[in-house]
Amino acid sequence: MKLKAIIEKLNLKVLTAQEKLDKEVTGGYTSDLLSDVIANSKEGDLWITLQTHQNIIAVAKLKDLAGIVIVSNREPDEDTQKKAQEESVPLMISGERAFEISGKLYGLIGS
């Protein structure tokens, strides 16, 4: 499913990389441990996390993730948004918690 469609269905607020929303999302990964995400996420995954600092952008870029959803309405740092824009990584915010948003994403794209 295209990221654009997921954004609409999950009611995500898009902060950066508007030009990348046509990307296909092929899976999801929910984790706040960077070593775990680096080792276990897959290309095309939408990453669901509560981390807001700039290092999440390098991780998403390195792993070719479809984008990052920050949960619980946490506001990413300014550096994070700037870097996401520079690196063309879609950064989104959800008002829901990781459990709910992961469940809904799973419902949309399954395993």
Chain residues that interact with another protein, rule: CB under 8 A: 32-36, 38-39, 49, 51, 53-56, 58-59, 61-63, 79
How far is it, in rounded angstroms, from Cα 63 to Cα 54? 15
How far is it, in rounded angstroms, from Cα 63 to Cα 5? 22
- In the bound state with another protein, the residue whose beta carbon lies nearer, of 8 and 32, is 32
- In the bound state with another protein, the residue whose beta carbon lies nearer, of 16 and 49, is 49
- In the bound state with another protein, the residue whose beta carbon lies nearer, of 5 and 50, is 50
Alpha-carbon distance values, 5 to 1, 31, 34, 65, 111 (Å): 7, 23, 27, 16, 17
Minimum CB separation of residue 23 from another protein in Å reads 18
Minimum CB separation of residue 99 from another protein in Å reads 18
| Token pair 């915010």: residue | 93
